Amino acid sequence: METGNRMAREKIFQSSDDDEEPAPFRSSFDLNDEQFDDTLRPQRLCDVVGQRKVVDRLQIMIDAAKMRSEPLGHLLLDGPPGLGKTTFATVLPRELGTECLITSGPLLAAPKDLLPHITNAGRGSVLFIDEIHRMSPAVEEFIYPVMEDFRVDITLGEGMNARTINMQIEPFTVIGATTRSGMLTAPLRDRFVNRLHLDYYELDELAEIILRNAKKLKVQIDEAAADELAIRARATPRIANNLLSWVRDFAMVKAKGVITKQVAIDALAMQEVDRLGLEEPDRKYLQTLVKIFAGGPAGVQAIGHSINVPVDTLEDEIEPFLLRNGLIQRTPRGRVITSIGLEHIGMKPPKNDDQGGAGQSQLF
């Protein structure tokens, strides 16, 4: 593996406006266990599973940049959490044999926060900005000439005495990652010449990721067990990894460290991960929609307040999978539970006045 690259990972803090949001209620398979992620993250493009279209396009961009000995054009990666944005962003500099600096939108409140990254960026290096949609407007203004002309405009003094100094910097590549491409302003989006969208994974790809990572974690797992975990991983590699981590612990304590299909099923039942991969927060969302909002339509803010989950978390982590599986619908008047959603949580339509519904024996 490449050793020459400098991988600086800064701690990602929450922005101050999050203070007003309710405390996130985390699933048992926290989507942000960074250390675990880093252990299992593919190091090279050939280690990446799935996302064929993205991999093929990146390979062309890398080859072209190498042939021209020019930096890669700025690249925007968008898609839901846990699908591989950071993975691709950190694989690219390794493939290019260049250094990588890492920061995150919420850390960039003022131009002075971005300045050291830019002035430290060597020719052809990569600056990865995670959650780029959360950069402040002042930083966004500041980054336009940086990305377009590799020029830094610094204003000194104030009022009548203010003057602007222009500084030329080495050409480098900004890789931005976002779960909310719709929140980026058009001028910022337009400065990314390359834009790639990451999509959810197929079952066989998730099973492959689980088998490879079991090997990295030195745990024995059979294919049927990997398939079982894949089914419940909500089409997301990070969730697959986190399920694997729990099942490994369970197997160690209860099954001599060997993960068979039955061990996987028992371990996931203990964590209340149901046969679709829904966890307590997902089911609570659906139950609240029925019990409090009579099945909907209900606004996302109202649902968030009822179950004490920030709207961002609902929109990024909970709703996409429910929508994709037809458990809820998004209508102009709000979210509505579908008959599939009702069936899944074993509840009947609210108008029957029997909201407690049937038991949940089929869930796990």
State how beta strands 126-130 and 151-156 pair: unpaired
Instruction: Identify whether the C-beta of residue 241 lies closer than 8 Å to the C-beta of residue 36.
Output: yes
Which structure tokens are listed for 79? 């898609």
The one catalytic residue among 238, 248, 284, 335: 238
Residue 227 known to be catalytic: no
The one catalytic residue among 78, 94, 130, 234: 130
| Contact window for ligand ADP (CB under 6 A) among 15-23, 84-92, 163-171, 342-350 | 84-92
Q: Quick one: which of 81, 93, 111, 176 contacts ligand ADP (CB under 6 A)?
A: 81
Query: Smaller CB distance to ligand ADP: residue 102 or 225?
Result: 102
Instruction: Identify whether the C-beta of residue 183 lies closer than 8 Å to the C-beta of residue 201.
Output: no
The one catalytic residue among 41, 78, 86, 173: 86
| Contact window for ligand ADP (CB under 6 A) among 85-93, 107-115, 158-166, 259-267 | 85-93
Restricted to residues 241-260, the positions that interact with ligand ADP (CB under 6 A) are: 241
User: Nearest 10 degrees: CA dihedral of 231, 235, 238, 239?
Assistant: -40
Query: Smaller CB distance to ligand ADP: residue 37 or 280?
Result: 37
Residue 155 known to be catalytic: no
- Euclidean distance between CA atoms 322 and 115, whole angstroms: 41
Q: How many CA atoms lie within 13 A of 55 on its CB side?
A: 12
For the CB of residue 48, give the shortest distance to ligand ADP in the complex, in Å: 4
| Contact window for ligand ADP (CB under 6 A) among 16-24, 68-76, 79-87, 93-101 | 79-87
Q: Quick one: which of 27, 29, 40, 74 contacts ligand ADP (CB under 6 A)?
A: 40
- Euclidean distance between CA atoms 149 and 135, whole angstroms: 20
Task: Say whether residue 234 binds ligand ADP (CB under 6 A).
Answer: no
Q: Quick one: which of 51, 98, 313, 338 contacts ligand ADP (CB under 6 A)?
A: 51
For the CB of residue 234, give the shortest distance to ligand ADP in the complex, in Å: 12
Instruction: Identify whether the C-beta of residue 300 lies closer than 8 Å to the C-beta of residue 335.
Output: yes
Which structure tokens are listed for 89? 């962003």
Restricted to residues 149-178, the positions that interact with ligand ADP (CB under 6 A) are: 177
Task: Say whether residue 209 binds ligand ADP (CB under 6 A).
Answer: yes
Query: Smaller CB distance to ligand ADP: residue 240 or 290?
Result: 240
Q: Quick one: which of 74, 85, 191, 335 contacts ligand ADP (CB under 6 A)?
A: 85
Which structure tokens are listed for 264? 């996987």
Residue 330 known to be catalytic: no
For the CB of residue 129, give the shortest distance to ligand ADP in the complex, in Å: 12
| Contact window for ligand ADP (CB under 6 A) among 19-27, 83-91, 249-257, 301-309 | 83-91
Q: Which residue is nearest to ligand ADP (CB)?
A: 84
Task: Say whether residue 87 binds ligand ADP (CB under 6 A).
Answer: yes
- Euclidean distance between CA atoms 349 and 341, whole angstroms: 10
For the CB of residue 151, give the shortest distance to ligand ADP in the complex, in Å: 30
Instruction: Identify whether the C-beta of residue 22 lies closer than 8 Å to the C-beta of residue 304.
Output: yes
What per-residue string of b and e applies to 62-75 under the rule 16 or more CB within 10 Å gives b?
beebeeeeebbebb
- Euclidean distance between CA atoms 12 and 9, whole angstroms: 9
Max CA pair span of the chain: 75
Residue 195 known to be catalytic: no
- Euclidean distance between CA atoms 84 and 199, whole angstroms: 9
Instruction: Identify whether the C-beta of residue 275 lies closer than 8 Å to the C-beta of residue 231.
Output: yes
Q: In Å, how far are 48, 192, 205, 254, 267 from 246, measured between CA atoms?
A: 23, 39, 20, 12, 8
The one catalytic residue among 87, 90, 173, 179: 179
Give the binding site for ligand ADP (CB under 6 A): 37, 40-42, 48-51, 81-87, 177, 209, 237-238, 241
Catalytic residues: 85-86, 130, 179, 238
